[in-house]
Structure formats: structure tokens, C-alpha cells
Copies of this chain bind each other. A is one copy, B any other.
């Protein structure tokens, strides 16, 4: 399964990042020590420190690693100009639900919030390299819909608030209450996603 060639930045690093991301998601930032990471990677701490300058460094690597794939998914949707804005928007919303709730970078949001206090650089990078581009892509999509007369001329900032807010909060809630067991009863993704998307499209569609 892991028969990757060493064409990337070094697949040892990649493996460490993969394992660390897993541990960070499971136990939080300060709940994950460099020792535990080294153990899980079957190397010593000293070796770990050979690959990454420090814990902050490693964490940033884990987070930024998830940026690209998340953004690429949105870019692909925008690139497919054969589809109408409404279909694109619905697809984009599906993708946002998928990435923010299921992908590491999305699930790491509360974790990033935690770390941002100690390391403002993490917050800056997260905002500049992920939040802003993601928002920009969505706004492009909306603008296109407006230009084509399919969308109303809405306040994009407010709409962004209404789009991202519920998804991020749902993701955070599910992380917080993961131990509950009846998670899907309290936070049924597909039901909330459908209702949410309908409302957003309803706000956008020109009469």
C-alpha cells in the first residue's frame, strides 16, 4: 500500500507528518508529546528532531500539508465552466462539508485555535494560506453567478458568514462530542447539510 517512491520532499517526512497528524487529532497539541510521536514513528526523539526543527515546526507541516488538497478540490469545481453556477455552488457546498468535517485540516480547526494563542505565526499562515484563498474561490463563484444573472447581488461577506459558520461549528461540535456515541443523532451531517444548502441556494437564486 505504501510503495511510494521518494519523489516528494522525502517520504520519511511524509510518513512522520501522517502519523503526527493522526496523533494531534486524537490527543490535541499539548496532549501529543514529541516522545509519543517518535514512538509511534518507531524512531527516537533525536531522529525526529533531525527532520523537524521543533514541535511547532512539525505541527505547521501537518496543517499546511492539508491545505493544498482542500483548495484544489474547490479550484477544480471552479475550473469546470461547463456547469451552471447553481450546480457549481451546490457542488462546492458538498465539498466544503466533506473537507471541513472529514479532512485533517478541517478537523484541526479547534486545534489550530488552541495553538494560535502560543504561536501567532500559525494563525497567520492558516488564515493567509487557507481561509482567505478558500473564501476567495467561493466569492469568485458567486460573482460569476451574479454576472450571469443567475444569482442575486448578495452581500458576500454575510453570505460567507452563513456558509462557513454552520459547517465549521458542526465540525467542531462533532470533534468535541466524539465520545458521545449518539453523535449522528445530535449532529446528523447529511440532514443539516441538505437544509443548509437549500437555504444558501435560496438566498442566491435570482427570482
Contacts and interface: CB of A to CB of B under 8 A. Distances in A.
Contact of A157 (B116, B168, B169, B191): B191
A162 interface: yes
Interface stretch (A9-17, A53-61, A83-91, A117-125): A117-125
A188 to B, nearest CB: 8
Given A113-B110, A161-B166, A120 B179 contact: yes
**Tier of interface size on chain A:** 35 or more
Interface stretch (A26-34, A44-52, A142-150): A26-34
Interface string A192-207: 1001100100010000
A5 interface: no
Contacts of A65: none
Given A168-B169, A192-B157, A176 B28 contact: no
Given A162-B166, A165-B166, A168-B165, A175 B113 contact: yes
Nearest to A27: B117
20 contacts: A27-B118, A28-B114, A31-B118, A109-B172, A113-B114, A116-B175, A116-B176, A116-B179, A126-B176, A155-B195, A158-B192, A161-B166, A165-B166, A165-B168, A165-B169, A168-B168, A168-B169, A168-B172, A199-B199, A199-B203
